[in-house]
Amino acid sequence: MKPVKVGICGLGTVGGGTFNVLTTNAQNIARRAGREIIIAQVAARHANPACDTSNTDVTDDVFAVARNPDIDVLVELIGGYDVARKLVLMAIENGKHVVTANKALIAVHGEEIFAAAEAKGVSVMYEAAVAGGIPIIKAVREGLAANRINWLAGIINGTGNFILTEMRDKGRDFSDVLKEAQELGYAEADPTFDVEGIDAAHKLTILASIAYGIPLQFERCYTEGISRITREDVEYAEELGYRIKHLGISCQTERGIDLRVHPTLIPESRPIAKVDGVLNAVMANGNAVGDTLYVGAGAGAGPTASAVVADIIDLARTMEADPLARVNHLAFDRIEDEAVLPIEEVETAYYLRIPVLDQAGVLASVATILSEKGINIEAIIQKEPKEEESLAQIILLTHRILEKNMNKAIADIEALPSTVGEVTRIRVEHLS
């Protein structure tokens, strides 16, 4: 069979890793693909000293790759929204297959891109867009195809997981660990996408779409970050037998799809609670298979390049096949526009930390409010004020309740004369 000619757009961390994996492992890749895979062109604004491109056609114009008639597969690794969208659509219009690691592009513009690809009879592959080196897209889209997926839960941002791990293991403050994460290169100079959950929301949007056969709906994903988590919250969670993880959670319910990213208390006995540092992990529950867990490196040159090249190999095997015989972009032949629940309609359990004056009757007042709202208490810790402080802390775990009912209870608790400041609320999931 004739070789597959690849054009790589972007030669940064992931682009450089992809270039090196394709060249270093060329013989093994050809054996797996059944044909040779050749890097015919690279587009990059800057040279990557880790890559020997002396025998490769290099340009600084990414659109030249999309127009190049010799290219079979365009690999988009430039990131971002606008230029990447234009580049991918141009490649598709020119009859090229596309491989991308760009989760933001797929989550926000995937519907348009997939429709264009189907019209031209080409494929868009995006394994590397979610959880780096973990083959979670293939696992959910193909490996679990026999199942009705009940729920997904994932640590899908390594930066947030590193920060929470350091806070738990070393008793450090959020701001201190964030600074170190930036120095180590785990977090960007502007860490908003990582610590506020936007990056994880992009990934969860994609996972939920292929799990349930629904449209990509990033704008409907509830997103909450970890910047307000304190080391005290981490310690109290440990006392209660839980760990705090920044999770993306999606569940198919009778009322609609639950789609949310937020800090979450999970029992320390659950396997995903033990996934620490910069690792990623995704749990998927199917009605036939039960719980499954996938763990691995969620970022980095090698792990992400591994997923990119796996997609190129899949394309090399199937690009001559009838487009109707290929796996659908979002796993389902028919996409159904099922409702995504607003966060107020989501049901979960809660951890509450309430700063109060150290006086009699406070706990009773809080318990009365919760009882009036139909909220049952599972556990209570009451922390007396330290010598230098005047406030006590009441820490509660509740049973499951609709978020809108919890919102009303928190408003009433904050209105108590004995409550000083805001109530900290962290959702609790048992993942079972």
Known catalytic residues are 203
* Helix/strand/coil for 328: coil
User: Any residues with CB less than 8 A from the CB of 190 and at least 6 apart, and which?
Assistant: none
Torsions phi, psi for 334 (to 5 deg): -130, 125
- How many helices, marked H, and strands, marked E, lie in the chain? 14, 17
Within 101-196, strands assigned E span 124-125, 149-155
- Would residue 39 be called left, alpha or beta, if left means φ above 0 and alpha means ψ between -120 and 50 degrees? beta
DSSP state of 274: G
Distance CA 330, CA 335 (A): 8
User: Any residues with CB less than 8 A from the CB of 405 and at least 6 apart, and which?
Assistant: 373, 374, 375
Question: Which neighbouring-strand residues pair with 151?
Answer: 251, 285
User: Any residues with CB less than 8 A from the CB of 219 and at least 6 apart, and which?
Assistant: none
Within 192-303, strands assigned E span 222-223, 242-253, 256-267, 279-286, 290-297
Q: What dihedral do alpha carbons 406, 411, 415, 420 form, nearest 10°?
A: 80
DSSP state of 141: I
Question: Which neighbouring-strand residues pair with 286?
Answer: 149, 290
Q: Are 286 and 150 in contact (CB under 8 A)?
A: yes
